[in-house]
Amino acid sequence: MSRFFSLGASLALLLGLCLPPPSAASEPAAECGRLTALRPANGAELTAAAIEDRGDERGPRCVVRGRIVTSPRSTINFRVDLPATARWSGDLTFIGGGGFDGLVPTEERYWKQILLFLGRDGPLLWTSAVVSSDSGHQGKGAAPSHDFSWALDNPGAIANHAAEANHLVLGAAADIVRDYYGKAARHRYMVGHSNGGRAGIMAAQRYPQDYDGILSFAPAISQQAFAANLVPFYQYVYASPDHWVSPEQTVLYERAQLAACDTLDGLADGVISRPSACRYDPAPLICPPGISAGPTCLSEGQAESIRRVFADKYVDVPLANGMIGYPAWGRGAESAEFKYIFGSSFVARDGTDFVFADNIVRYGIVGDPNASIMTHDPVKYRDRYLALSTQIDATDPDLSAFAARGGKLIVWYGTSDDCVSFAQFARYYESVKSRLGNRMNGFARFYVSPALTHLNRGPGANRFDLLRTLHGWVEKDASPGPVVATRAADANTGLPAIARPLCLYGHYPRYKGRGDPARAESFECAPDRPEAKP
């Protein structure tokens, strides 16, 4: 579930330096245009094929647009970008969508969000055939991916959104690639963030033969757990203006929490690298008697809302694969992402989390556009939550077929995610480990970054080369070694450039007590257990 924002020109320059001159790798327009006569798999119709060159780091490429009509109310629009033959790496990469989909991500702003996560690995996409789809519906409004109205009485569109659309498009894209280059793609990858990350996990579960490697950033694996368990939370937050937390109060809380928890990793550096050990309570920030809540203090109700953010949420609504409840959101980057929870004002109710949960309730659960999360009782709709969860949620712990065919999976999460609960995916990951045991190490890695949010914002080290790591694992059977994450100096916050080890789930970057705190080798990935000492 994502908001979108632009990358700086520096990233474009960095990516451009890594590629051969586009003019030396152009393709005849006629060769591209002939693809519209192709009839690829799964009933796909190709509506356009033309060379596009925007003068950016991607260079000239043959862009194919098409559609697959699966029902009267569900048409899958898709796009395939084909680099010139001289530049093609031999790979195919599927880019997942965000939110509720509803747009082709490589046509829209969301494309740049994926690039933000990939960082220095962006050039790997420019030499790959790149595929994406809108998952079978077209979202409405200024933020199409926030729209869930298409799901109302539309089982075909729901099935496409869940998993079918991307599977069908992949089959068609494979034919397009084979026809254009005269041979099949050597390897097939999927890269996705949020809902696109969920789609990657779902592909490993339902279509294990589709991809050789999957890179999933902050996968939103259970929309239904999110919606059902946020109902009482939001009914409390919006019961009174004294329960709603403003952006200024968010900064107040964040600073106090940082002062209490910064050194839990062995170093005062402006980063809470061990959020699991942070138990800061906002009680000291409650206004004295006679003082009104505002930028300098909190009401009792606002303090309680913050406590509920960092508490596990539970509604008695069992979901697919035994999922129930919704674990706490993460600490450590509140000013970057509390807006997801509380939005811009009490009246607006425009926080992304509220909007998504309310949309699911209206169109997916109750089936009434006039329904509201504010009066909703999830327990009365248990059957509907379970049915939708069985279709959409990527919570099946059986990844044995994906592992057996040699597939590789890398997952990343920022532990300060206040959109999708990092801890919920951790629960799922543990369920996979319980089923597969020692086989996990042969095909899956789960990396975590402290003090980073759903959109990779925050004071943590937010640049890491995980797509390159995945390629090495798939193509050279090079088991992932140490990964270093970096953060550039930020003149606005005064934070210096740093490097940290990117640790696997269950570990955190602990300062060794000596060495330059800006360098990764001064840290070690220490076990993050309650009994482990900082």
pLDDT in tens, 255-311: 999 999 999 999 999 999 999 999 999 999 999 999 999 999 999 999 999 999 999
Which strand ranges, in their side-by-side order, compose the sheet holding 483-487? 45-52, 61-71, 74-83, 129-133, 91-95, 187-193, 213-217, 408-414, 444-449, 498-504, 483-487
Mean pLDDT of 102-130: 86
User: Over 50: is that where the pLDDT of 5 sits?
Assistant: no
Residue 133 has pLDDT above 70, yes or no: yes
Mean pLDDT, residues 100-129: 86
Burial of 434 (0-12, 13-18, 19+ CB in 10 A): exposed
What are the two backbone dihedrals, phi and then psi, of residue 163, each rounded to the nearest 5 degrees? -165, -25
The reported pLDDT for the residue numbered 55 is: 83
- Check residue 530 and give its pLDDT: 52
Query: Residue holding tokens 């996409």?
Result: 125
Element (H, E) at 85: none
Question: Does the structure show a pLDDT above 80 at 246?
Answer: yes
SS (H, E, C) 257-323: HHHHHHHHHCCCCCCCCCHHHCCCCCHHHECCCCCCCECCEECHHHHHHHHHHCCCECCCCCCHHHC
pTM for this entry = 0.93
Domain with CATH 3.40.50.1820 in the chain: 9-222+395-451
List residues bridging with 80 in a β-sheet: 64, 131
pLDDT given at position 122: 86
pLDDT bin (cut points 50, 70, 90) of residue 116 is: confident
pLDDT, tens only, 21-70: 334 345 677 899 999 999 999 999 999 999 999 888 888 999 999 999 99
What does the mean pLDDT of the chain come to?
A: 93
Q: Write out pLDDT tens, residues 77-94.
A: 999 999 999 999 999 999
Q: Which of 201, 140, 203 is nearest to 169 (CA)?
A: 203
The answer to whether 191 touches 107, Cβ cutoff 8 Å, is: no
Average pLDDT on 234-245 reads: 98
Cα gap 349→506, rounded to integer Å: 35
385: closest CA among 225, 239, 204?
A: 225
pLDDT digits (tens, 9 = 90+) for 518-533: 999 999 999 997 544 4
Digit-coded pLDDT (tens) for 447-503: 999 999 999 999 999 999 999 999 999 999 999 999 999 999 988 888 999 999 999
> Which CATH number is 9-222+395-451's, of 2.40.240.20, 3.50.50.60, 3.40.50.1820, 3.40.1350.10?
3.40.50.1820
- The DSSP code for 362 is I
Question: For the stretch 291-311, what's the b/e string if a residue is b when 16 or more beta carbons lie within 10 angstroms of its beta carbon?
Answer: eebeeebbbebbbbbbebbbe
